[in-house]
Amino acid sequence: MLGPAAHIASASSRCPPAGNLNVTAKPLIHFNDGTEARAVRWRSESGATPPKRVEIADDTMTADSAYRLAAEGTALLWRSDFQNARQLLQALMRRIDRPRKPKRKQAAAAEAPGAAFHRHRQVQAQRAHTLSMLLIPLEGDYGIPLRRAPDVRLACSEAWGEPDGEASVVSLRELLGLIGAHEWRKKGVDVPALGAHIHPYYGVFAPIRNEYVKLVAQATLPAQTLAFDIGTGTGVLAALLAKRGVARVIATENDTRALACARDNIKRLGLEAQVEVVEADLFPGGRAPLVVCNPPWIPSQPSAPVERAVYDPGSKMLRGFLAGLAAHLEPEGEGWLILSDIAEHLGLRTREELLALIDAAGLKVKSRSEARPVHPKAQDASDPLHAARAAEVTSLWRLVPR
């Protein structure tokens, strides 16, 4: 439960440009707790506005009632056992994910380029919005004042910074995401091509797609003196290049969390003497014989900051990398572009458009190596985007100036 009124706040990668993703604005969520009107700090990583309608919910509320209210846009502020709230969230998921017959208009629209993808995104956005209606109170130190609640203080501090003493409210779904990210950060992700673990931070793309790392591990290096890793994210490719013997690697990033994450991973791996992580928008100063970039693969708008490592609106980062590459390559140097063709299979970008961008940048393709992904969704025939995922190929394009 939220504390007494005296403790309530009064007011208050490899990613494209995102800046500091920590909460800076302090919007309030308003509700009546049964005795008085309250106003408490609202937390939302996606920047969603606070729900306008809030009801107090507890173990007496049925899943059907909760689903009806959430679907109508009424938020449910939980005041009972935390584990029961998790069970209710799972019940809401089951109701949302019930199989439904596709509408005729949707079936016809599936033939249009990108229609299935955009429809899938709309469905996912509506699903996320409904599930976000189940809310959890947090005390000023990020503690949860509910029975059987886990200690999430460290997970919240890692994502939002040190607590400032303000009570707040957050979506249970988002809170569970923070908890999961904390576990990944603690345990790390095994990267076989690196022979080590990478520890991703909340909001930074985790290197779980091993095929693209393996492509970089197997490609012949044009030189071992210097390399740039553009949009380094967790620092995995910069670390890999250093492990392969590149004497100096400059890894760039402009996202606050990713900068901290990459520096932490480089330190954990003992590569600080070889790898320098710098804050920069795409390229550092100077030229290098090898410039590597693994931009977001899907040219679409992210719905939350944590999606910026996957979605690149208008292919902005891809275009920026290609446009500036020639000016940052030494003579006989190479640019390595790591890119999936999933956007082509989704009807969001054609191969001809990609080749045109390469040509317009004064570049040509020296060679290309490819690998097929082995992640579970590529094998899941029930996935709405299965056809695209099953056909997907990840490539390492070796680019040189014309």
The pLDDT of residue 351: 96
pLDDT tens digits, one per residue of 121-131? 898 899 999 99
Q: 38 in helix, strand or coil?
A: strand
Residue 374 tokens read as 């082995």
Neighbours of 311 (CB within 10 A): 18
pLDDT tens digits, one per residue of 206-246? 998 889 999 999 999 999 999 999 999 999 999 999 999 99
Q: For residues 121 and 147, what is the distance between their CA atoms, to the nearest angstrom?
A: 36
Q: 363 in helix, strand or coil?
A: strand
Q: Which residue has the higher pLDDT, 11 or 143?
A: 143
Q: What is the CATH number of domain 188-401?
A: 3.40.50.150
Question: Taking Cα atoms as reference points, which of 116, 137, 160 lies closest to residue 41?
Answer: 137
CB 184 within 8 A of CB 204: no
pLDDT tens digits, one per residue of 247-290? 999 999 999 999 999 999 999 999 999 999 999 999 999 999 99
Domain boundaries, the chain: 5-184, 188-401
Q: Which residue has the higher pLDDT, 117 or 189?
A: 189
Q: For residues 314 and 316, what is the distance between their CA atoms, to the nearest angstrom?
A: 5
pLDDT tens digits, one per residue of 303-323? 777 777 788 999 999 999 999
Q: How many CA atoms lie within 13 A of 356 on its CB side?
A: 5
